[in-house]
């Protein structure tokens, strides 16, 4: 049985209301009859699920039957495209892309080899260095220099991060944590922090590069930010124009010093990042790119027509559900 449908499924939707609403708006404008569905472990408490055209409760992504459960949802709901949103599901979905593709369903996620190197920041550093992008210098925790920075090699959501400014702050708990890797501290008074949204086509070539300056961060995601059409665009295009097995939206976190164009790479998230809505409002429409490639069968060219200096200021909002 091969699907011939045009609906989209966003997995682990959670709080990604803006992303879901943007997918709905763009999909409706191109394929009016198509729908955007979502999944979540607890859809009744997931605002993005309530805003979608329909939501399905699913097991944890690591559960043995998750893939069959998801595939069944896709077939029953006439899904053409699956968009993952959280780190923990990427490897599982990447490993099963062909299973879905055999049914005509496209999981827009990079190949498992790229996902693996992104999930382990030690491999990420090697990858960045191999593409002529500097990374923070490693520090021997038993012979440290201060200040230094420690983070989990497989962490996310800005959890378990440590700025260590003197020997007294290098506690036994930090020193003995097997997950932590230690590196030089990048002075934020000299460097600005950026997340760069890149879109890769089905041909594994980059089609757009949008640097977003992170003015304020909350819970690991950009809360205030602005697009900057600066040196980072050509810097990354020259180094990352083609990446084998990479498709869809990825975002690269880095530090940038404007005075001498010094760039230091930090990590790569091979998915839509939490700050992508800013790129969307700056007219970098990666959602249209996905629909054009995976539904309409079109080829894409590189574009830098997005808007410079687009400012995003986030605030809290509510989704209200009334009892029936």
3-state DSSP of 179-203: CEEEEECCCCCCCEEEEEEEEECCC
* Residues lower than pLDDT 50 in the chain: 1-3
Q: Where are the alpha helices (DSSP H) in 77-215?
A: 87-95, 97-101, 112-119, 121-130, 172-175
Backbone φ and ψ of 146, nearest 5°: -120, 155
As a whole number of angstroms, the distance between CA 43 and CA 38 comes to 9
Residue 1: the pLDDT is: 40
Burial class (CB in 10 A: 0-12, 13-18, 19+), 112: middle
pLDDT tens-place string over residues 79-131:
999 999 999 999 999 999 999 999 999 999 999 999 999 999 999 999 999 99
Residue 5: the pLDDT is: 84
The CATH architecture to which 115-132+189-313 belongs is: 2-Layer Sandwich (3.30)
Residue 240: the pLDDT is: 98
Residue 2: the pLDDT is: 43
Residue 153: the pLDDT is: 87
Whether this model's pTM surpasses 0.85: yes
What secondary structure letter does DSSP report for 111? -
The CATH number of the structural domain formed by 7-109 is 3.40.50.20
Residue 4: the pLDDT is: 57
Return the closest-CA partner of residue 151 out of 121, 120, 181, 119.
Answer: 181
Residue 303 CA neighbour count, 13 Å, CB half:
15
What ranges do the domains of the chain cover?
A: 7-109, 115-132+189-313, 148-184
């Amino acid at each position: 049985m091969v699907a011939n449908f045009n609906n989209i499924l966003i997995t682990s939707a959670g709080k990604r209301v803006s992303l879901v609403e943007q997918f709905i708006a763009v999909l409706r404008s191109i394929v009016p009859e198509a729908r955007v569905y979502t999944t979540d472990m607890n859809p009744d408490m997931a605002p993005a699920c309530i805003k979608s055209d329909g939501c399905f409760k699913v097991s944890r992504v690591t559960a043995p039957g998750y893939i069959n459960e998801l595939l069944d949802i896709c077939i029953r709901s006439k899904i053409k495209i699956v968009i993952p949103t959280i780190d923990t599901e990427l490897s599982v979905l990447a490993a099963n892309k062909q299973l879905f593709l055999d049914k005509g369903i496209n999981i827009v996620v990079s190949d498992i080899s790229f996902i693996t190197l992104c999930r382990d920041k030690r491999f990420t550093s090697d990858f960045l260095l191999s593409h002529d992008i500097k990374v923070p210098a490693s520090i021997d925790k038993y012979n440290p220099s201060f200040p230094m920075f420690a983070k989990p090699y497989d962490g996310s959501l800005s959890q378990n991060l440590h700025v260590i400014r003197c020997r007294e702050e290098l506690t036994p708990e930090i020193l003995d944590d097997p997950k932590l890797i230690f590196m030089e501290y990048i002075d934020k008074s000299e460097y600005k922090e950026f997340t760069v949204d890149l879109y890769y086509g089905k041909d594994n070539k980059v089609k757009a590069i949008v640097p977003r300056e992170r003015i304020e961060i909350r819970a690991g995601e950009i809360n205030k930010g602005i697009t900057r059409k600066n040196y980072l665009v050509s810097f990354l295009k020259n180094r990352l124009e083609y990446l084998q097995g990479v498709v869809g939206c990825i975002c690269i976190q880095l530090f940038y010093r404007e005075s001498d164009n010094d760039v230091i790479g930090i990590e790569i998230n091979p998915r839509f990042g939490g700050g992508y809505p800013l790129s969307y409002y700056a007219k970098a429409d990666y959602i249209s790119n996905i629909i054009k490639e995976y539904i309409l069968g079109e080829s894409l060219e590189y574009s830098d027509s997005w808007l410079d200096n687009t400012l995003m200021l986030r605030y809290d909002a509510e989704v209200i559900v009334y009892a029936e």
